[in-house]
Amino acid sequence: MKPEGWNSLEPGRQFVLARLSMGDEVFCDSVMPLTVRWVPDHPVVSNVSIGCEFDELPEDDRKVLQFFLARKLAPSRGSACGSSC
């Protein structure tokens, strides 16, 4: 995210992740509530990272998220997802 867009994302702010995808592959279309936990301010960095926590994430959505992160962190493994949300 560019620095000018993160001003409204202070810690404690809540929003929802409405779609989880990677390229054309959609992992989840269900709404996942999030709370912003940290927003580092580093003036020498052109983009800003935002740390969020999922609020009351159901077990099925947690599994989808874990699968997504495993695919994102290790794209060469390429396993198939058995659950959908």
Tell me the per-residue pLDDT of 32-58, one tens digit each, with 9 for 90 and over.
899 999 887 777 777 777 889 999 888
Nearby residues of 84 by Cβ (< 8 Å), 6 or more positions away? 28, 64
In a domain, 68, yes or no: yes
Q: How many domains does the chain have?
A: 1
In 10 A of CB 27, how many CB atoms? 19
Is the pLDDT reported for residue 69 higher than 70? yes
In a domain, 80, yes or no: no
pTM value is: 0.63
Residue numbers of the domain that contains 11: 3-73
DSSP letter string over 47-65? S---EEEESS--HHHHHHH
pLDDT, one tens digit per residue, over 10-25 is: 889 998 989 988 889 8
In a domain, 69, yes or no: yes
In a domain, 16, yes or no: yes
In a domain, 78, yes or no: no
61: exposed, middle or buried (Cβ count in 10 Å: 0-12, 13-18, 19+): buried
